Amino acid sequence: MTVDPASPGKDATVSLTSTVSGNPQPALQVLSLAMPKDFVYRGDKIATVCNEADLVGYEPRCAESSLLGTGTATVEFKNGNVTGTAKVDPVRMYNAGPDAVLFHMKALPPIAKGVVVPSTVKLTDADFGPVFQVGPAEGANFGTLAITSFTFTSKPGVFTTGPCSTGSWVGAGRYLFLGGATQEVNPRIACGTSSDPTGPSTGTASEATPGAALTLAGTTVAQSRRQALGAGRVRILSTRLKASGGKVAVRLQCRTAARCLGTLRIQNKRAAGGIAKFGTARFSIPGKGTKTVTVKLRSRWGAALSRAKGSTWVRAHVDGQSRTTDAVKKLKLRR
């Protein structure tokens, strides 16, 4: 990741390059990019909005004033009769509202195809600045393509840099692969320069495929081997539940350096598709931190909870993570 111009506190042009590699090549599901904390996203102030309907097709029809930046990509199509690797040039990012952007990917011949990738911008992360999630929320895959390389350069004025008193900014990248494997990097971006990041990127990964790796701005982050393939990001620490005042509290731990955002469900079945009969709550846990999450129980399910024979299922799902790697635990219920 590089930043230009050199002087902080002014309009900035941000460029990013990432490559996913391996044999066989892992299929990228969702890419999350967290800008440094002292960066401000100004795209949401742009009055012109691009609608998804205007992007469907090979050539986009959105106004140039809604364009936030351009790039290139290499993608693998897996959709019916359209199969193969194609170069995408250009990739265009458009403003789609205060907390949404749209990517239009124009694949060049022999696979001439236009693909729209709805994406989001989160502006509430305490540890970082704006967080761009390239791809749909809740872990749904791209459907028609898997990204293997991605470059992007913003238009001037889309970002503003803040003061940089520590000598460098810290960003973050999180790559989610089909099957639930993840990979994370935390590049450092030197203040007052548009050169490559200083120092190595750091990160953790669950193994997607043997030998798979990821590079961010030319720095390779090797994968760590875990005993459990595709281990989830959150661990349930509670050993039992206590119901009091129509609420229960669950102690959770975030196992990665990046913040864990997701949903805690108290439900009647282990399965991911089990109805959250008893209650849900959102959680936000700092990287490597722990937090007690309180769930308000739904009163209409009180009788069902009483019939749970002294125990119930707790499921913690991290946004964008495959549900096959949710943290799930059956806990005894105290009243």
Q: For residues 84 and 206, state if they share a domain.
A: yes
* Residue 327: domain span: 234-334
CATH number at residue 270: 2.60.40.1930
Report the b/e string of 86-99 with b at 16+ CB within 10 A. bebebbbbbbbeee
Overall pTM surpassing 0.85 (yes/no): no
Q: What is the pLDDT along the chain (335 residues), one digit of tens a residue?
A: 777 655 555 777 888 887 776 655 666 777 888 888 888 888 878 889 998 888 888 889 999 999 999 999 888 776 556 677 888 899 999 998 888 888 898 888 888 888 888 888 887 777 788 888 887 654 444 555 677 788 889 988 888 887 777 777 778 887 877 666 677 777 777 775 444 444 334 444 444 333 344 444 333 333 332 222 234 678 899 988 887 878 889 999 988 777 788 889 888 887 765 566 788 898 988 888 899 999 988 865 555 665 656 788 899 988 766 666 788 898 887 76
Residue 127 placed within a domain? yes
Distance (Å, whole) CA 119 – CA 142: 11
User: Six-digit token pair at 19?
Assistant: 């490559």
Distance (Å, whole) CA 261 – CA 289: 12
User: Six-digit token pair at 6?
Assistant: 């050199």
What is the residue whose two structure tokens read 């913040």?
259
Q: For residues 187 and 245, state if they share a domain.
A: no
Q: For residues 127 and 154, state if they share a domain.
A: yes
